[in-house]
Structure 1
Amino acid sequence: MGVRQVAAGLLVVLLCLVTAGCWDRRELQERGFVMAVAIDLAEDGQAGGSALESYTRREGSKPLRLSVQVLKLTPSGGGSDQPKGEGKTYVLSNTGVAFHEMVRDMLGQTSKGLYFEHIQAILISEAVLREYSLKQMIDFWRRDAEMRWRTRIFVIPGEAREVLSFQPPTGEAGGIFLAGVARLYTRNMNIASAQTDLGAISQVLDAGGDAILPRLEYKDNKVKVNGLAVFKKDRFITYWDEYTIKGIRMIRGNLKSAVITLNCPLHPGYGVTFEMFRHNTILEPHVEGDKIYFTLNTAWRGNISEVACQQYHDTLDEKFQEKAEELLAEEITHNISYSLNIAQQAGVDPMNFARYLKAYEPETWNRIKDNWEDIYPTIPLYVKARVSIQNVGEHK
């Protein structure tokens, strides 16, 4: 082996020694893992606040209050020094005009650096969104490289900071629990959390679309994702209920499972429940001269999951199934029409009609885009719904 080969081998070994490990290594116990953040107006909840949760600014104005939920790390092994009944997180707060500045000033309240790589939820109070735009409230979170774009965003009717004190019955950190609730939208039509994380909302706002976010209620140490916060572009306007959410999700086609209950036409007060496990939904724009309209073809397949008046019916009977399929298709059509009417009256387009028209009929879009606000409420949607019952469960 020549001198050059030996020198090259030594150089490789030396480089391995120099570059081994992580250049920014920090021990786990030295990190303060932020699970969730809450944004409120500074004057809200000041009775429970502290003069320490602030800092001096030249102008003196501190209109916003940022609170962070930090994970408590407990020793590994068989035991834990954490008192029974105590939460797994603690909360830090600060007031100011810029979130980055508030985060840095919070380091005066903790012995651990705040680490946002695992943030799960951003909670924004309704009061804040009536004063500021949604873009202003998420700007820092989508610029910072530590943030994750799958972070869930919620709108809180009351004080957002209160939710950070929530102790989930599952024993996990509150931010993790809330993100888990949001992910269950695949099985719950009433949860409007499909495509409402930080990344999806950023794309909607960058494209000039209308944002929608799940509404989160907190009371007596209980939480529920309940309703939909509606935005015109990035300005909050109102809330919509669960029935409206269902229709919007039917149009958007982001359902993986769905449960629909009908009142039995022969036995009022009794319900027949259908569980959808597969669907094919196609939304298409059409242009005929000056007329613009949309069609929605949706085909659902699923099972009868419950019949409250089962003693009066043979669910294996073809006539029963055909009638149930007909009524279910009518209910789907009605729900879609109801939700579209609510959206068009508000001038909000969560179904992405504008995006579809721009993609499939670009010439028409270029011609009408300046008048879209006036045209959108007049656009009809023709719905064709079909339902196929595949099974009736383990018992007829």
Structure 2
Amino acid sequence: MKRRLRLLALLLALSLLCGCWDNKELDEYGYVQAIAIDMINDTQIEITTHFYNPSSKMEMGNVGGTAPKGINIVTSGETFFDAMREIPAKFGRKAKWDHMRVILLGEKLAKSLNIREVLDFFSRDHEPRGTILPIITQNSAGSYLDIKPFIEQTIGQQFKRMELSGTQYSAETSSIPLYQLAIQLSSPSKTSTIPYLHIDGTEPKAIISGVALIRDGKMVGILKEQDTEAFMMLTDKYKSGVLEFPCINNVHHRIQDKESLEVLSFNSRLRPSIQGDAVHISADVAIEGTIGELRCSHLKTSKDVEHFEEAITQQVEKQIQHLLTLLQKKKLDMLGIGNQIYRRNPKLWRQLEPTWDDLLAESKFELHVDVSVLSTGMNAGTLFGTKEK
């Protein structure tokens, strides 16, 4: 009798368990790797959604070849949701957004519309992750998703790796995830930078270098590679890279008369202060590295090394000063000076905010650069194949 009661209780418990009433099959979804958003006219946007293709079937007419791992579906509408609703009708699957790598924004759209409105869906919906990387493209964004990846399976993953590696190893761009972009755009300075994707040369090969300047949600300019490197220095985002500088006493000003330092350690600090009605900013930069290339210097004594370090210091100061002049001329607080003042003294910031652009344009920078050469990279301070005397 007890055995029957136990069996009955077990059957009743099993009847309360959930079944597969809400199951979703894999073939119901298309997994998005990247998306490109362009502006068609004043009322409509066009989105190109790049899906991962799990199929390994051979392409028709391509013996021995396999189908591409990326599939582009183009839709349009007055809003992002409007354009997104067309995807199932054209693709036969519902878009799944939680594996997306990058968001490409066309240059025309970034200059005309507030990108806060364009990116609102990706922060509001539960599927997209805050680590997605936004990128602004030269001209229209959609065409970049037609480019074949070099080594990654999809061009979305390829662009992600290009942005992260360019930030980490060469400081030619500045990587920023979606959540951090939202923080910067809502900061007191209301400025941010987004990596810039453009065509390199005449061939359809893309490169991520430089950054687009964003103020109050709209693109207002571009920093090229050299200025981006200086920007990374002043914002203490510089991880590693190579500094090039002209040879000492380079009277011919030849391009090949340049030497280089591989940066191993980098630290910088900005300290703003308000003195009366003027803004003073102190910038301290410390660089340590090893010699990457010698072409005309001979580092035999400590005096030679000091002259060598001074040449690097002058080049870095010149590069940083060029960036500062550019930002002051455009009245752009891309370095987040206003953010620092706000964090330290919100009341003071409220007083400065109405005229902040003009105050920033007239601010005084005091720059200190310290360069240390740790090693020549080999047990010689002379040019390769040159005998020491």
For the superposition of Structure 1 and Structure 2, which TM-score range results when normalised by the shorter chain? 0.7 to 0.9
CA contact (8 A) 1:35 1:175 kept: yes
Q: Deviations over 1:128-187 (max 9, x none)?
A: 123211112211122111111111111112221111111112142000000111101011
Task: Give me the whole-angstrom Cα distance separating, in 2, the residues matched to 1:251 and 1:383.
Answer: 10
2:192 matched residue in structure 1: 211
2:225 matched residue in structure 1: 242
AA partner of residue 36 (structure 2): A
AA partner of residue 392 (structure 1): T
Identical-pair percentage: 21
CA contact (8 A) 1:36 1:119 kept: yes
2:271 aligned to which of 262, 284, 303: 284
Q: Deviations over 1:85-144 (max 9, x none)?
A: 642111111111111221122110122221110111111111112321111221112211
1:192 matched residue in structure 2: 174
2:92 matched residue in structure 1: 111
AA partner of residue 365 (structure 1): W
CA contact (8 A) 1:201 1:211 kept: yes
Residues 41 and 365 of structure 1, relative CA distance in 2, 3 Å threshold:
closer
Helix, strand or coil for the counterpart of 1:300? strand
2:339 matched residue in structure 1: 355
Task: Give me the whole-angstrom Cα distance separating, in 1, the residues matched to 2:239 and 2:96.
Answer: 34
The alignment yields a C-alpha RMSD, in angstroms, of 2.7
Task: Give me the whole-angstrom Cα distance separating, in 2, the residues matched to 1:276 and 1:12.
Answer: 69
User: How do residues 50-65 of structure 1 correspond to structure 2 at under 5 angstroms?
Assistant: 63-65=44-46
1:391 aligned to which of 367, 371, 375: 375
Q: CA deviation at 1:224?
A: 0.5
Is 2:355 the partner of 1:368? no
Q: Which blocks of at least 5 consecutive residues in structure 2 are unaligned?
A: 381-389
1:275 aligned to which of 258, 262, 265: 262
TM-score by length of structure 2 reads 0.86
Task: Give me the whole-angstrom Cα distance separating, in 2, the residues matched to 1:274 and 1:389.
Answer: 8
Helix, strand or coil for the counterpart of 2:231? helix
AA partner of residue 250 (structure 1): M
Residues 143 and 266 of structure 1, relative CA distance in 2, 3 Å threshold:
same
AA partner of residue 245 (structure 1): T
Q: Deviations over 1:189-225 (max 9, x none)?
A: 21132xx221111111122411221111136331101
Residues 117 and 23 of structure 1, relative CA distance in 2, 3 Å threshold:
farther
| Count of aligned pairs | 366
AA partner of residue 288 (structure 1): Q
1:33 aligned to which of 28, 31, 34: 31
Q: Deviations over 1:226-281 (max 9, x none)?
A: 32211222122222211211111111010111211111023553111011111221
Helix, strand or coil for the counterpart of 1:226? strand
Task: Give me the whole-angstrom Cα distance separating, in 2, the residues matched to 1:339 and 1:23.
Answer: 60
2:145 aligned to which of 164, 174, 182: 164
Task: Give me the whole-angstrom Cα distance separating, in 1, the residues matched to 2:258 and 2:267.
Answer: 25
2:366 matched residue in structure 1: 382
Task: Give me the whole-angstrom Cα distance separating, in 2, the residues matched to 1:282 and 1:231.
Answer: 23
Helix, strand or coil for the counterpart of 1:130? helix
AA partner of residue 190 (structure 1): E
1:266 aligned to which of 249, 273, 277: 249
1:70 matched residue in structure 2: 51
Residues 206 and 19 of structure 1, relative CA distance in 2, 3 Å threshold:
farther
Helix, strand or coil for the counterpart of 1:207? coil
Helix, strand or coil for the counterpart of 1:265? coil
1:223 matched residue in structure 2: 206
AA partner of residue 360 (structure 1): R
Helix, strand or coil for the counterpart of 1:146? coil
